[in-house]
Amino acid sequence: MTPKQHKPPRGEPANDPILAVLVSDIHLSLQPPLIRDVEGVDWLGVQQNYLTQLENARPSWDIPILMGGDLFDKWNPGHEIVNWCFKHLPEMYCVFGQHDIPNHQGKDLHKTAFFTLMEARKIHLLEAGKPTHFKIGEWTLVVHGFSWNQEPTPVNVSNDPELFNIAVLHRYCFTKSTGYPGAPEEGRVGNLLSKLKGYDFVLSGDNHKGFLARIPDWRHPYSSKPKAAWLNPGPLLRRKADEIDHQPCVGLLHASGWIERKYLDVSRDKFTDAGKIDKQKHDFSGFTEELENLEEVSLDFPREVRRHLERNKVEERVQRLT
Protein backbone atom coordinates (compact mmCIF):
# COMPACT_ATOMS: atom_id res chain seq x y z
CA MET A 1 0.00 0.00 0.00
CA THR A 2 1.36 3.41 -0.95
CA PRO A 3 1.33 5.86 2.01
CA LYS A 4 -0.79 8.95 1.59
CA GLN A 5 1.21 12.09 0.89
CA HIS A 6 0.48 15.30 2.76
CA LYS A 7 -0.80 18.09 0.54
CA PRO A 8 -0.20 21.80 1.09
CA PRO A 9 -3.13 23.72 2.60
CA ARG A 10 -5.40 25.46 0.11
CA GLY A 11 -4.53 29.03 -0.69
CA GLU A 12 -0.76 28.62 -0.29
CA PRO A 13 1.54 30.17 -2.94
CA ALA A 14 2.00 27.99 -6.01
CA ASN A 15 5.76 28.65 -5.92
CA ASP A 16 6.55 26.68 -2.76
CA PRO A 17 10.27 25.80 -2.63
CA ILE A 18 11.77 23.29 -0.22
CA LEU A 19 14.06 24.97 2.31
CA ALA A 20 15.40 21.97 4.27
CA VAL A 21 15.33 18.19 4.50
CA LEU A 22 14.65 16.75 7.97
CA VAL A 23 15.74 13.33 9.26
CA SER A 24 16.57 11.62 12.53
CA ASP A 25 17.64 8.35 14.16
CA ILE A 26 19.69 6.91 11.32
CA HIS A 27 21.56 4.43 13.59
CA LEU A 28 24.33 3.45 11.18
CA SER A 29 26.24 0.26 12.00
CA LEU A 30 28.72 -2.09 10.40
CA GLN A 31 26.77 -5.19 11.43
CA PRO A 32 23.05 -5.64 10.75
CA PRO A 33 20.57 -5.99 13.63
CA LEU A 34 19.25 -9.43 14.53
CA ILE A 35 15.87 -8.90 12.86
CA ARG A 36 17.48 -8.36 9.46
CA ASP A 37 17.80 -11.25 7.04
CA VAL A 38 21.45 -10.96 5.93
CA GLU A 39 21.69 -13.99 3.66
CA GLY A 40 22.89 -12.63 0.33
CA VAL A 41 22.24 -9.04 1.50
CA ASP A 42 24.86 -6.28 1.55
CA TRP A 43 24.03 -4.41 4.78
CA LEU A 44 26.27 -1.46 3.92
CA GLY A 45 24.54 -1.34 0.55
CA VAL A 46 21.12 -1.26 2.23
CA GLN A 47 22.23 1.69 4.38
CA GLN A 48 23.79 3.42 1.38
CA ASN A 49 20.49 3.13 -0.48
CA TYR A 50 18.71 5.01 2.31
CA LEU A 51 21.38 7.72 2.46
CA THR A 52 21.15 8.14 -1.31
CA GLN A 53 17.38 8.61 -1.03
CA LEU A 54 17.97 11.14 1.75
CA GLU A 55 20.42 13.09 -0.38
CA ASN A 56 18.16 12.95 -3.44
CA ALA A 57 15.24 14.38 -1.44
CA ARG A 58 16.72 17.87 -1.62
CA PRO A 59 16.31 19.76 -4.89
CA SER A 60 19.82 21.27 -4.79
CA TRP A 61 23.08 21.20 -2.84
CA ASP A 62 22.17 24.57 -1.29
CA ILE A 63 19.36 22.96 0.75
CA PRO A 64 20.61 21.78 4.18
CA ILE A 65 19.92 18.37 5.68
CA LEU A 66 19.04 18.73 9.38
CA MET A 67 19.45 15.60 11.53
CA GLY A 68 17.89 15.07 14.97
CA GLY A 69 20.47 12.78 16.60
CA ASP A 70 21.56 9.13 16.84
CA LEU A 71 23.57 9.13 13.65
CA PHE A 72 25.29 5.93 14.82
CA ASP A 73 23.82 2.99 16.69
CA LYS A 74 26.88 2.95 18.96
CA TRP A 75 29.36 5.70 19.77
CA ASN A 76 32.35 3.53 18.77
CA PRO A 77 31.13 1.64 15.68
CA GLY A 78 34.61 0.88 14.31
CA HIS A 79 36.93 2.44 11.74
CA GLU A 80 35.39 0.68 8.75
CA ILE A 81 31.95 2.28 9.08
CA VAL A 82 33.53 5.69 9.79
CA ASN A 83 35.66 5.43 6.65
CA TRP A 84 32.55 4.33 4.75
CA CYS A 85 30.76 7.47 5.98
CA PHE A 86 33.42 9.69 4.41
CA LYS A 87 32.27 8.44 1.02
CA HIS A 88 28.55 7.77 1.44
CA LEU A 89 27.18 10.07 4.15
CA PRO A 90 25.78 13.36 2.82
CA GLU A 91 26.84 16.55 4.56
CA MET A 92 24.46 17.22 7.43
CA TYR A 93 23.83 19.60 10.32
CA CYS A 94 23.20 17.53 13.44
CA VAL A 95 22.62 17.29 17.13
CA PHE A 96 23.97 14.22 18.89
CA GLY A 97 21.81 11.57 20.54
CA GLN A 98 22.55 9.27 23.47
CA HIS A 99 23.66 6.51 21.08
CA ASP A 100 26.34 8.83 19.69
CA ILE A 101 28.11 9.32 23.06
CA PRO A 102 29.63 6.92 25.63
CA ASN A 103 27.43 6.19 28.66
CA HIS A 104 25.06 8.94 27.46
CA GLN A 105 27.62 11.57 28.56
CA GLY A 106 27.92 14.59 26.26
CA LYS A 107 31.21 15.61 27.90
CA ASP A 108 32.83 12.60 26.20
CA LEU A 109 31.79 13.59 22.68
CA HIS A 110 35.47 13.96 21.73
CA LYS A 111 35.93 10.18 22.05
CA THR A 112 33.32 9.31 19.42
CA ALA A 113 32.88 8.49 15.75
CA PHE A 114 30.43 11.41 15.62
CA PHE A 115 33.28 13.74 16.65
CA THR A 116 35.58 12.26 13.98
CA LEU A 117 33.06 13.21 11.30
CA MET A 118 32.74 16.68 12.86
CA GLU A 119 36.50 17.20 12.67
CA ALA A 120 36.46 16.09 9.03
CA ARG A 121 33.66 18.65 8.34
CA LYS A 122 31.45 15.84 7.10
CA ILE A 123 28.82 16.75 9.68
CA HIS A 124 28.33 20.00 11.61
CA LEU A 125 27.18 20.18 15.21
CA LEU A 126 24.15 22.35 15.93
CA GLU A 127 25.02 23.87 19.30
CA ALA A 128 22.76 25.35 21.96
CA GLY A 129 23.17 29.13 22.12
CA LYS A 130 24.97 29.25 18.76
CA PRO A 131 22.32 29.29 16.02
CA THR A 132 23.32 28.34 12.49
CA HIS A 133 22.04 30.57 9.67
CA PHE A 134 21.15 29.49 6.14
CA LYS A 135 20.23 31.90 3.35
CA ILE A 136 18.13 30.18 0.66
CA GLY A 137 16.88 32.62 -1.95
CA GLU A 138 14.84 35.23 -0.12
CA TRP A 139 14.35 33.00 2.94
CA THR A 140 16.51 32.69 6.05
CA LEU A 141 16.63 29.66 8.31
CA VAL A 142 17.92 30.14 11.86
CA VAL A 143 18.56 26.67 13.31
CA HIS A 144 19.01 26.07 17.04
CA GLY A 145 20.34 22.70 18.23
CA PHE A 146 19.66 20.92 21.52
CA SER A 147 21.49 17.62 21.80
CA TRP A 148 20.80 14.80 24.24
CA ASN A 149 20.10 16.03 27.77
CA GLN A 150 20.06 19.71 26.71
CA GLU A 151 16.91 21.67 27.53
CA PRO A 152 15.44 23.78 24.69
CA THR A 153 15.12 27.50 25.30
CA PRO A 154 12.66 30.00 23.76
CA VAL A 155 13.64 32.60 21.15
CA ASN A 156 12.19 35.96 20.22
CA VAL A 157 9.29 35.77 17.79
CA SER A 158 10.31 36.93 14.32
CA ASN A 159 8.06 39.36 12.45
CA ASP A 160 9.91 38.65 9.21
CA PRO A 161 7.67 36.38 7.07
CA GLU A 162 10.74 35.09 5.25
CA LEU A 163 12.67 34.05 8.39
CA PHE A 164 12.08 30.74 10.15
CA ASN A 165 13.37 29.77 13.60
CA ILE A 166 13.86 26.01 13.76
CA ALA A 167 14.58 23.91 16.86
CA VAL A 168 16.36 20.57 16.41
CA LEU A 169 16.34 18.46 19.54
CA HIS A 170 17.07 14.93 20.66
CA ARG A 171 14.83 13.92 23.54
CA TYR A 172 11.83 11.68 23.99
CA CYS A 173 8.85 13.72 22.73
CA PHE A 174 5.45 12.20 22.11
CA THR A 175 1.83 12.85 21.21
CA LYS A 176 -1.31 11.13 22.51
CA SER A 177 -0.86 8.10 20.25
CA THR A 178 2.96 7.85 20.12
CA GLY A 179 4.08 7.57 23.75
CA TYR A 180 4.73 4.43 25.76
CA PRO A 181 2.73 3.67 28.95
CA GLY A 182 4.09 5.76 31.80
CA ALA A 183 6.17 8.05 29.55
CA PRO A 184 7.31 11.17 31.50
CA GLU A 185 4.72 13.90 31.00
CA GLU A 186 7.40 16.54 30.48
CA GLY A 187 8.05 14.94 27.09
CA ARG A 188 4.49 15.38 25.85
CA VAL A 189 4.40 17.85 22.94
CA GLY A 190 1.79 20.06 24.63
CA ASN A 191 3.91 20.32 27.77
CA LEU A 192 7.04 21.38 25.84
CA LEU A 193 5.49 24.31 23.99
CA SER A 194 6.42 26.84 26.70
CA LYS A 195 10.11 25.97 26.16
CA LEU A 196 9.73 26.34 22.41
CA LYS A 197 8.14 29.76 22.13
CA GLY A 198 9.27 31.72 19.11
CA TYR A 199 10.05 28.71 16.92
CA ASP A 200 8.31 28.14 13.63
CA PHE A 201 9.27 24.47 13.31
CA VAL A 202 10.59 21.67 15.51
CA LEU A 203 12.50 18.56 14.44
CA SER A 204 12.82 15.97 17.20
CA GLY A 205 14.55 12.62 17.44
CA ASP A 206 14.74 9.69 19.90
CA ASN A 207 11.11 8.51 19.80
CA HIS A 208 10.97 5.77 17.17
CA LYS A 209 7.24 6.24 16.69
CA GLY A 210 6.97 8.96 14.07
CA PHE A 211 4.50 11.82 14.18
CA LEU A 212 3.70 15.09 12.42
CA ALA A 213 1.97 17.57 14.73
CA ARG A 214 0.12 20.73 13.81
CA ILE A 215 0.32 23.31 16.60
CA PRO A 216 -2.83 25.53 16.56
CA ASP A 217 -1.07 28.60 17.96
CA TRP A 218 1.73 28.51 15.37
CA ARG A 219 0.61 30.12 12.12
CA HIS A 220 2.59 31.12 9.07
CA PRO A 221 2.18 34.75 7.94
CA TYR A 222 0.99 33.57 4.50
CA SER A 223 -1.71 31.28 5.88
CA SER A 224 -4.63 31.43 8.30
CA LYS A 225 -4.33 27.67 8.89
CA PRO A 226 -2.09 25.94 11.45
CA LYS A 227 1.22 24.79 10.09
CA ALA A 228 2.51 21.22 10.11
CA ALA A 229 5.03 22.49 12.60
CA TRP A 230 6.56 19.56 14.52
CA LEU A 231 8.10 16.51 12.87
CA ASN A 232 9.42 13.44 14.66
CA PRO A 233 10.37 11.25 11.66
CA GLY A 234 11.10 8.01 13.51
CA PRO A 235 14.03 5.76 12.51
CA LEU A 236 15.48 5.87 9.02
CA LEU A 237 16.66 2.26 9.42
CA ARG A 238 14.36 -0.25 11.07
CA ARG A 239 16.39 -2.22 13.61
CA LYS A 240 13.87 -3.64 16.09
CA ALA A 241 10.95 -6.04 15.79
CA ASP A 242 8.39 -3.42 16.81
CA GLU A 243 9.60 -1.11 14.01
CA ILE A 244 8.80 -3.43 11.10
CA ASP A 245 5.49 -1.68 10.41
CA HIS A 246 7.13 1.77 10.55
CA GLN A 247 7.36 3.58 7.20
CA PRO A 248 10.77 5.32 6.95
CA CYS A 249 10.51 8.91 5.79
CA VAL A 250 12.26 12.26 5.63
CA GLY A 251 10.64 15.66 6.07
CA LEU A 252 10.56 18.39 3.44
CA LEU A 253 10.18 21.86 4.94
CA HIS A 254 8.27 24.08 2.51
CA ALA A 255 8.54 27.87 2.34
CA SER A 256 4.76 28.27 2.59
CA GLY A 257 4.86 26.91 6.13
CA TRP A 258 4.26 23.16 6.17
CA ILE A 259 6.23 19.94 6.40
CA GLU A 260 5.71 17.14 3.91
CA ARG A 261 6.59 13.57 4.85
CA LYS A 262 8.36 11.91 1.94
CA TYR A 263 8.20 8.15 2.35
CA LEU A 264 11.20 6.14 1.16
CA ASP A 265 11.59 3.00 -0.93
CA VAL A 266 11.89 0.01 1.44
CA SER A 267 11.94 -2.74 -1.18
CA ARG A 268 15.50 -3.82 -0.27
CA ASP A 269 14.57 -4.45 3.38
CA LYS A 270 14.53 -8.14 4.33
CA PHE A 271 13.64 -9.44 7.78
CA THR A 272 14.11 -12.79 9.48
CA ASP A 273 11.07 -14.89 10.29
CA ALA A 274 11.91 -14.58 13.98
CA GLY A 275 11.90 -10.81 13.63
CA LYS A 276 8.27 -10.95 12.51
CA ILE A 277 7.07 -13.08 15.45
CA ASP A 278 4.91 -11.37 18.06
CA LYS A 279 6.73 -8.07 17.72
CA GLN A 280 5.89 -6.62 21.11
CA LYS A 281 6.17 -9.81 23.17
CA HIS A 282 9.75 -10.44 22.12
CA ASP A 283 11.02 -6.88 22.07
CA PHE A 284 14.32 -6.83 23.97
CA SER A 285 14.79 -3.06 23.64
CA GLY A 286 14.20 -2.37 27.33
CA PHE A 287 16.64 -5.08 28.34
CA THR A 288 19.37 -3.89 25.99
CA GLU A 289 18.87 -0.25 26.99
CA GLU A 290 19.57 -1.24 30.62
CA LEU A 291 22.76 -3.04 29.57
CA GLU A 292 23.91 0.02 27.61
CA ASN A 293 23.56 2.15 30.73
CA LEU A 294 25.84 -0.11 32.78
CA GLU A 295 29.42 1.07 33.11
CA GLU A 296 32.24 -1.04 34.61
CA VAL A 297 30.42 -3.79 36.48
CA SER A 298 30.97 -7.50 36.82
CA LEU A 299 28.34 -8.98 34.51
CA ASP A 300 28.03 -12.45 33.03
CA PHE A 301 26.25 -11.44 29.84
CA PRO A 302 25.30 -14.94 28.58
CA ARG A 303 23.88 -15.80 32.01
CA GLU A 304 21.79 -12.62 32.11
CA VAL A 305 20.40 -13.33 28.64
CA ARG A 306 19.46 -16.88 29.67
CA ARG A 307 17.78 -15.55 32.83
CA HIS A 308 15.79 -13.06 30.74
CA LEU A 309 14.65 -15.84 28.40
CA GLU A 310 13.59 -18.05 31.30
CA ARG A 311 11.71 -15.30 33.15
CA ASN A 312 9.78 -14.24 30.05
CA LYS A 313 9.09 -17.71 28.58
CA VAL A 314 10.38 -16.80 25.14
CA GLU A 315 9.47 -19.20 22.34
CA GLU A 316 12.04 -21.83 21.41
CA ARG A 317 12.65 -20.50 17.87
CA VAL A 318 13.49 -17.09 19.29
CA GLN A 319 15.77 -18.65 21.92
CA ARG A 320 17.70 -20.36 19.13
CA LEU A 321 18.86 -16.93 17.91
CA THR A 322 20.79 -16.50 21.16
Q: How many CB atoms lie within 10 A of CB 290?
A: 10
Read off the amino acid at residue 241.
Answer: A
Cα 21 to Cα 17, 134, 194: the distances in Å are 12, 13, 25
- Please say whether the dihedral angle defined by the alpha carbons of residues 271, 273, 276 and 282, taken in this order, is positive or negative: negative
Cα 15 to Cα 44, 56, 69, 132: the distances in Å are 38, 20, 31, 25
pLDDT at residue number 38: 74
Task: Report how far residue 60's alpha carbon sits from residue 174's, in angstroms, rounded to the nearest whole number.
Answer: 32
pLDDT at residue number 7: 43
pLDDT at residue number 67: 98
pLDDT at residue number 309: 62
Which residues of the chain are modeled with pLDDT < 50?
1-14, 225, 278-282, 295-298
pLDDT at residue number 226: 52
